[in-house]
Homo-oligomer: A and B are copies of this chain.
């Protein structure tokens, strides 16, 4: 509430361009509140806010903004302001921003950086996209193992200001190779004259600079460290990754997976920020692919046109049967895709998974098959709508449901594994994708069973 009142006052001052009053009012605002305030403002007003806050507020607030907002701000901030913010902000966040820019804009920004920061920026941009190299920051503290605790603490006090975290301190040899990491707490708690070497536990986990981002997310889930060191293949310490960046990354990865599960190409921006044309580009291709797949249902049914003409009642149950197969397939594929993403299962587990899904699918199929048969029987009891052949029709519906649901479970669980085996993203086998596959095959199952059970009666 208080925030809302102050916000109105600030909007009033912005409309008056009252820079001095803004400065007074914003003096004690936290970067979080400033970022929230700025999100809803026009770019010109955003720039005015940045000119009214102090240097530390400025870069901390800037870092909290969405990448899109950052890119827009770059266009409206004065060069001097931009320079301070870019040099102050942490190297990993800056790399994420620079990645978004066109070449000429990127080059302009690089000239604003100090020589040291420019070297850092260029080196981080040199790593492949989506690699751990892009995420790491060179702002950490290293000590030598032959220093005393006192020497180490003095060093930390001298160089620690720009470190992303002081929670973990890194021990390197004279040529920069990583020997160990240690929590600052453990250094602080030791006696002044103890050698660092004597308080090391000799065990550390590190990431490779060329590893994929997913590896980093997985690694952090298995540790209680707030930061992990990144080395090259030889063990040279290149940077560190902090867990707060990993949290963002984990959310981004899950968002991509979820969107793929809904048969949408992963959006690069929040839903509301995606233009209509971009939205069409992300949705239309998949819809068309699924449509083309679904065209086969019309072809498949073409083969049974004669049967449908003879027994129109068969047509009535088509959506029920194919969608039940699609639904059981969606369940299985969703479970398998997520288990793969979490590293709970591997491709080599396929036979164990198949056995589980055969049993589960059969039982689910029995349940729905029974319900389908009961539905026909019950309707017939009250309305006699299926006449003398009700039992044959009910059996056809029941057995079809059973086999289609079983088939859906097996297809749904095996397709993600097959895709992964082929090097594709398992999340591509989304619920609609599986449903389309099962629709075509489900119709074949249905009409084959009908051909057997209704032969001589309806067909």
Contacts and interface: CB of A to CB of B under 8 A. Distances in A.
Contacts of A385: 302
A255 B338 contact: yes
Contacts of A90: 224
The interface centre, meaning the residue of A279, A315, A318 with most chain B CB atoms within 10 A of its CB, is A315
A270 B226 CA distance: 25
Contact of A320 (B157, B160, B298, B317): B298
A229 to B, nearest CB: 13
Contacts of A7: none
Contacts of A356: 276, 279
Contacts of A359: 276
Given A264-B334, A291-B324, A258 B257 contact: yes
A45 interface: no
Contacts of A436: 323, 327
Interface string A419-435: 00000000000111001
A225 B226 CA distance: 10
A221 to B, nearest CB: 6
Given A244-B224, A261-B262, A315 B291 contact: no
Contacts of A122: none
Interface stretch (A78-86, A109-117, A124-132, A280-288): A280-288
Nearest to A306: B312
A432 B330 contact: yes
Given A243-B244, A247-B250, A291 B368 contact: yes
Interface in A28-43: 28-33, 35
A246 interface: yes
Interface stretch (A94-102, A182-190, A451-459): A182-190
30 contacts: A161-B189, A246-B247, A247-B250, A250-B250, A251-B254, A255-B338, A258-B338, A263-B331, A271-B336, A283-B328, A283-B331, A284-B363, A284-B364, A287-B324, A291-B368, A294-B319, A298-B316, A298-B320, A301-B319, A302-B385, A308-B308, A308-B315, A319-B319, A319-B439, A319-B443, A323-B436, A327-B432, A330-B430, A331-B432, A431-B431
Q: A-B pairs with the 3 shortest C-beta distances?
A: A262-B334, A30-B203, A271-B339
